[in-house]
Amino acid sequence: MKLSKRISAIGCGAVLLGSLAFGADKKGDAKKGLEVFENSACMGCHNTDSDEKRGNAPALKGLFKREGLTEAKVLDKINKGGNGMPPYEEQLEPAQKVDLVAYLKTL
Ligand code: HEC
């Protein structure tokens, strides 16, 4: 019994790892993601509690409810930035980005 439990735990871990691609060994934590958001200046440019654009920065409220917007696209934007958005590829650890995306999904 013990052994089979262990095997299924390993299987589970592998699925998780696979689905998150590289780097992160767990699902995103939205609470930690909020901290990353607050500490990475995202807050300084993006509204999260209204639909109002600030300067050129679009509000992130309801981000993942938008049609056609995928996790990959959001991660790409966070990594590469562009059009006034700074790139965070080097600034943030892969696990922090996973947390960040988990937080953005709550908006
Ligand atoms: C200096 C201001 C600034 C900071 C800091 C900033 N952004 Fe941005 N962000 C922008 C601008 C401007 C755009 C629009 C870029 C474009 O139109 O291509 C943008 C676009 C985005 C988008 C795409 C939104 C959409 O509607 O397609 C996401 C997601 C995003 N930012 C998340 C973040 C996160 C997460 C952080 C912190 C890690 C962050 N931004 C920090 C200015 C900023």
Domains of the chain with bracketed CATH: 26-104 (1.10.760.10)
> Ligand 1: which of 85, 89, 103, 104 to mutate, judged by most atoms within 8 Å of the beta carbon?
85
Q: Which residues line ligand 1 (CB under 6 A)?
A: 40-42, 44-46, 56-58, 60, 63, 74, 77-78, 82-86, 88, 100
Nearest CA to ligand 1 atom 14: 57
Interval 73-102: pLDDT, tens: 999 999 999 999 999 999 999 999 999 999
Interval 37-56: pLDDT, tens: 999 999 999 999 999 999 99
Percent of the chain at pLDDT > 70 equals 76
Residue 32, token pair as written in the block: 């930690």
Kindly report the three-state secondary structure assignment for every residue of 36-71. HHHHCCHHHHCCCCCCCCECCECCCCCHHHCCCCCH
Using pLDDT thresholds of 50, 70 and 90, give the confidence band for residue 18. very low
Match 């699925």 to its residue by tokens.
Answer: 15
* pTM for this predicted structure: 0.82
